């Protein structure tokens, strides 16, 4: 059975997310105007890239450059299941294309895991800052594979981290993209994520979620309805609030509000 899911996320640099399960479908030779970042979850793929025979399967990560002809088909009769990100050339320099043509596949378990985590974040509306943070780290790791230079640095880590924390505190409800924060602080998004994480012990997206949960707790104790609290605290919708609230607090927003913030499993005061 041929199955396809595709969407355009609200994450700078990602033109399209594409998930597919193909058995009989074979791509004719074609080109994309974006980078193709591919992982295979089941089966294996054979493809020709610039007239060279290649393959993708298992733990490997495949990067296909823009404007270079390639095709694709299942390597076995059982077909394949893949997840693809189409990345703008603002994410990866087209100067990396030659290296990607010569060696489009890399065996890097950490990189593959980060791409998997990025797909999970893209599946959850409201987690755009997490997706952008993960994309920044993926971008730096890809640059390391396809060009032997260290990722771009920036100002000292502590100052950058403090600056980003101030921005997140000031814009807890509406949020801020790493691209915008990087422009304000004068450094690359990847440097922002690494600096913040090394300074505070958690990545910026988790810090922002925690601040939003704290705000939601105060609003719930003020008697606000969970549906209203979600928007007021900066969550995408009530489901987004519910998921993160349970993870942080251990009870649902409605139960937390009904009990005045005190779980009914606590012993009574004497």
For 217-242, the pLDDT digits (tens) are 989 988 899 999 999 999 999 999 99
Which tokens hold the place of 199? 């300074």
User: Above 50 in pLDDT, residue 266?
Assistant: no
Mean pLDDT of the chain: 87
Average pLDDT over residues 211-215: 91
User: Above 70 in pLDDT, residue 152?
Assistant: no
pTM value is: 0.77
Confidence of residue 157 (pLDDT cuts 50, 70, 90): low
Pairing of strands 35-49, 70-74: antiparallel
- Nearest residue to 172 via CA among 205, 199, 218, 195: 205
pLDDT, position 267: 46
Confidence of residue 113 (pLDDT cuts 50, 70, 90): very high
Yes or no: is domain 206-258 CATH 3.90.1170.20? Answer: no
Tokens 């409800």, residue? 173
What is 3-146's CATH number? 2.60.120.10
Average pLDDT over residues 243-264: 80
User: Above 70 in pLDDT, residue 270?
Assistant: no
Rg value, the chain, Cα? 22
User: Above 50 in pLDDT, residue 150?
Assistant: no
| Cα distance between the two ends of the chain | 64
User: Above 60 in pLDDT, residue 262?
Assistant: no
pLDDT digits (tens, 9 = 90+) for 76-94: 889 999 999 999 999 998 8
């Amino acid at each position: 059975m041929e199955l396809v899911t595709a969407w355009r996320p609200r994450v700078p640099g990602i033109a399209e997310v594409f998930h597919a399960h193909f058995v009989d479908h074979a791509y004719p030779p074609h080109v994309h105007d974006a980078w193709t970042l591919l992982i295979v979850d089941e089966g294996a793929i054979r493809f020709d890239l610039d007239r060279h025979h290649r393959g993708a399967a298992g733990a490997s990560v495949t990067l296909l450059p823009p404007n270079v002809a390639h095709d694709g088909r299942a390597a076995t009769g059982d077909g394949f299941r893949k997840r693809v990100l189409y990345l703008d050339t603002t994410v990866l320099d087209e100067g990396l294309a030659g290296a990607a043509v010569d060696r489009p596949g890399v065996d890097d378990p950490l990189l593959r895991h980060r791409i998997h985590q990025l797909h999970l974040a893209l599946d959850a509306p409201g987690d755009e800052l997490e997706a952008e943070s993960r994309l920044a780290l993926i971008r730096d790791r890809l640059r390391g594979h396809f060009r032997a230079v260290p990722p771009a640095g920036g100002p000292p880590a502590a100052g950058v981290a403090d600056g980003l924390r101030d921005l997140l505190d000031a814009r807890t409800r509406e949020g801020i993209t790493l691209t915008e924060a990087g422009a304000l602080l004068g450094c690359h998004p990847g440097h922002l994520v690494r600096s913040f994480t090394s300074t505070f012990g958690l990545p910026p997206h988790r810090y922002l979620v925690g601040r939003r949960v704290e705000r939601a707790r105060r609003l719930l104790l003020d008697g606000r309805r969970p549906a209203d609290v979600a928007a007021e605290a900066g969550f995408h919708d009530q489901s987004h609030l519910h998921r993160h609230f349970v993870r942080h607090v251990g009870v649902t927003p409605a139960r937390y509000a009904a009990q005045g913030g005190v779980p009914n499993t606590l012993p009574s005061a004497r």
